[in-house]
Amino acid sequence: MKVQFGPGGWVQWPDSDEFSIEFMRLLGAAQEGGSMISECFLAASRIDPTDGGDSWYREWIAMADLSNERADAAFKRGHVLTARSNWLRAINYYQASAFGLDAADTKQERALLAMRGCARSYIEHMTPAGEVVEIPWLEGHALEGYFLPAPRAFHQSPVVVCMGDPGHRKEESLFKVARYARDRGMSLLAVDLFGSGTGAKFDEVVGRSDLETSVGHVMDYLYTRDDIDEHRIAILSDGLESSFVARGVALDNRFAAAVCDGGIWDMHERAFLMNRLSLSSSGTEGGWLGPKLRCPLLITLGEQGWLESDYVTDLFERLKAEHPDVSLKIFESSETAAAHGHRDNPTLANEFIFDWVADRLESVSA
């Protein structure tokens, strides 16, 4: 197993970028309880990234099954804390095993069904218990979410909505961000676009031009609950590959704070398309969200991410001219959390993000 260090940091398999990036995410999840470093390296030692993904699936599904079996055995003995820890790691390993598989592949279906079963067991045995919720959206395709109430909440609590980019699954929020909301007295609603099941209709949904309408439906659902403070709702978009959450926030003035790209990715894609078509970029301002965003906004990215920091800084300055209450945090390579999506150190990014959210929501109640 050949390991290299490059400008973006440590690379497990230099000839396989996709598997190396996913492996970095798995290791980063260890400090959040989503994996164990020793288990990750054990699995990696048995993986041949050139075999078309066969060994990748085999090793991660085996690790996931083992964690799931440990969880079930611990639960039967009454050791709920150990069961929860193992369910949490199993969720991540099952997700990893499905990485790169086609939606029609029965191996992916098997992994995702097991992942969802672990997630439901995990939230059911939290204190206080979480719940699986259904949120109306499209005809025949409701959104599904995991609602985790704030601990010791005897009154209406602030809530953070975690809504990943298309392709991101809500189960990842259980180990990636849930504790940051819980430790700050916030409820969490984790939602994705897959709906219930394994997401068989996802390809039909993700191609829609109105994905941002899902954000308003999530807010409508929260307004039906009597255990949250409707004036202190924040939203966190987990990723920077799409601006649909930013567009949704621009259409809905009920959010008290938002952590998303502010429409930067949309601007990037529009400019790229104009260049490819050799068209004037003067029309790219048509989708600019600056004047429409009304709540406090935070944009974060890593210095080694897919978008160059100088480019993002330029767009940020343009956004700030029209929306003064916007902040930009660029994590530099010298401090880590600098990879795309902060995969190399999600802890550092989440501490910053949730402190910012807590400050904004506290100012609403002050």
DSSP 273-310: HHHHTT--GGGGGGG--GGG--S-EEEEEETTSSS-HH
pLDDT score of 283: 44
Domains of the chain with bracketed CATH: 1-125 (1.20.1440.110), 129-366 (3.40.50.1820)
Residue 357 has pLDDT above 90, yes or no: yes
Mean pLDDT of 87-94: 98
For residue 126, which of 73, 68, 175 has the smallest C-alpha distance? 175
Strand (E) or helix (H) holding 155: none
Residue 276 has pLDDT above 70, yes or no: no
Residue 312 has pLDDT above 70, yes or no: yes
Residue 12 has pLDDT above 60, yes or no: yes
Q: Calculate the dihedral angle through the C-alpha atoms of 298, 237, 240, 342, rounding to the nearest 10 degrees.
A: 80
For residue 83, which of 125, 127, 24 has the smallest C-alpha distance? 125
Cα 210 to the chain's mean position, in Å?
20
Residue 271 has pLDDT above 80, yes or no: no
Please tell me the distance from the alpha carbon of residue 59 to that of residue 43, in angstroms, as a whole number: 6
Distance linking the first and last C-alpha atoms of the chain = 55
Between 30-39, 191-200, 313-322, 334-343, the lowest mean confidence (pLDDT) is in: 191-200
Between 109-123, 148-162, 288-302, the lowest mean confidence (pLDDT) is in: 288-302
Contact 56, 99 (CB under 8 A): yes
Please tell me the distance from the alpha carbon of residue 153 to that of residue 128, in angstroms, as a whole number: 9
**Per-residue pLDDT tens digits for 170-194:** 999 999 999 999 999 999 999 999 9
Tokens representing 290 are: 């600056």
Tokens representing 229 are: 């403070």
pLDDT band of 15, cuts 50, 70, 90:
confident
pTM: 0.91
pLDDT score of 215: 96
Residue 92 has pLDDT above 90, yes or no: yes
Please tell me the distance from the alpha carbon of residue 290 to that of residue 297, in angstroms, as a whole number: 11
**Per-residue pLDDT tens digits for 17-40:** 899 999 999 999 999 999 999 999
pLDDT score of 125: 98
